[in-house]
Structure 1
C-alpha cells in the first residue's frame, strides 16, 4: 500500500470518528457557530428587521429614510465604538453620552464666545474627552471602583458641568465656524445622502478594528477582558491597559461630539438622553460579551444599525417614542440572554 493511499485511509477514518463523536444537537451546533462568529447573529437580525419594517411600511424603503437612518447611526455608532473598547475589558461606561455633550459644549462655546476658531476648539474638545476618560480610568484602576458605579457618578458630574458651562443655552450652527457643522454635510451615494460624519464613523471603525486585531495593545485588551488575573500572570500591566482604554474612549467621544454638532447643526446640553442606552444596546446586540474578552467592532456597527432601524421603523409605524425606548430595552434583555446562552458552548 502506498503512502498516499495510507494517508487517505487515515484521513477518512479520522473524519468518520469525528462525525461519530460529534453528537451535538442542531441547536448546540448553531450555538457553537454563533460563538465562533459573534457578528453573525446581529447580521441576521438586521436583515430580518429591514425586511419586516419594509413590509409593514413601504416608506421605510425610501432613499430619504435610509439617509435619515445612516445619519442618526453616525452618532450612536461612534459612541458605541468607545463603549465596545470598555465592555471588551469587562467594564461598562454609563457616562459616554454625558462626555460627548460636555465636549460638544466646550467646542461650541470656545469657537463662538471665546472666539478662538474651529481648530483650537476641536483640540480643546479632545482634551476634555481625554480628561473625562482619564478620570473614569483612574476611578476604576487607582480607586478600584466598579466601572458601573464610577461611571454612574461621573454621568451626573459631566451632565452638571455641561449645563453649568453652557448656562443651559444652545449654540446654533450658524453661529459657529464652518468647520464645526461640516460633519453634517451630505452628498448622494446611490440615491442615499451620506453625511461626512458617517464617513468619519466608518473610518473610525476601520482604524479600531485594525488596532484590535493587529496590535499587541489589541490582544492585551482582549486578554484583560477574558481573565484579568491570567493577563497579569502573563506579564500584562492590567491597570495600564484599562487606563489606556478609558483614555481612548474619551478621545473617540470627542470625535462623537464633533459628529453630533454636524448632525444637529447645533450644540445643546440637553441632547443625548438615550445615547447611553443605545450605545450599550448596539454593543451587546453586536455580539460583544458583557463579561469581556469576546466581540468585534464590526458587530457593534451592525448593532448600531439595528438600533437605528428599530427606532426608525417603529416611528414610521406611528408608535410613541416611549414604545421605541421600550423596544430598545427589550432588545438589551434579549441580547444579554442570547450572550449568556452562547457562552455556555463547550470549547
Structure 2
C-alpha cells in the first residue's frame, strides 16, 4: 500500500479518548475519599482501607443499566444513566451493611462521541457523590463495528467495606419483625424490556405531560441511592436484613434475605402505588402479580428490623430525606407458601 494507515483510519480516535479523560477529571476529583492514594490516569488505582475498621471485610458488586439504555438512545438523554449505573451496585452492597469505597466504570462504543460520553460519566460521578464513594477509574473502549452509531454499553463495579461483626445477613430476622419500605424514584433500572413493550403497545407519546413533567422524564428518572441515609440509620438502629428491589421486583428479592420458614407478608394498601406504575399497569394491561414480580412498584429498598425499632428508624430515615412506609411483617411460612406475599 502506498498510503500509511493510522488507528484513526481504522475507526479509533486516541485523541478523543484523551480528551474524555481530561473532561471527566474534575467530576471524579469531587468524589475522592481520604483512602484513595492514586486515582484516574494510572494503570490501576490504589485505595487503602480505613483504620477505623478492626476486621474489615470487602464487599463487591457489579451491574449495568439494562435496556433502559435503548430509551436513552431514542430520547437523547444521557445525563442520568450514569447515576443508574452507580446505584445498581452501591445499593446492592449496602444491603450487607457495607459502606461503598470506590467505583469503576466500563464504557464501550463503536465511535466515541466525547460530548455524549462526558454526559454519561458526569452522571456516574454524580452517583458516586450521592453514595459517598470515589470514582477512581474505568475503561473507555472504542470498538469500530461493534455498536451502531450513537449507541454504547455501560457496566460498573463497586467495592465497599464492612466490619466483620456488623455484616447484615438476615439470619437474625424473626417472627414479628417489621418490614419498612423506602420509596423509589420510579422504575429505577429494571423491567425496561416490559416498559418498552408497553410504550410500543400503547403508542404512548413520551413528550406528553405526565403529572407536571413529561412521560419520558418520569420513565427515565434515575435510580435512588439509599447509601447515606441507611448508613446513618445503622449507627443507632440494628437493621436485621435489607433487600434492594431490582430485577424480580418485591416478590423475588425479599426472600433472598429471609431465613428458611419465614414469610414477609406485605400489605398492598400500606403504600400508594405511584402514578407511573398505575400507567404501566393500565397501558399494558399488566396483572398486579406480574407488576410485583417485575417492578419495585414504588418501593426501592426494604429494611427488616425489630418492631420496637420501627418508629425510631422511620423518624431517622424521614429526617434524612427518605419517604418511609411500614409495609408488612414477618410471620411463619405456611406449607407451599411463597416467602413474600402481597395481600
| TM-score of the pair, normalised by structure 2 | 0.28
Structure ID, larger Rg:
1
| TM-score of the pair, normalised by structure 1 | 0.28
- Greater relative contact order: 1 or 2 (C-alpha under 8 angstroms, separation 6 or more)? 1
- Bigger share in helix: 1
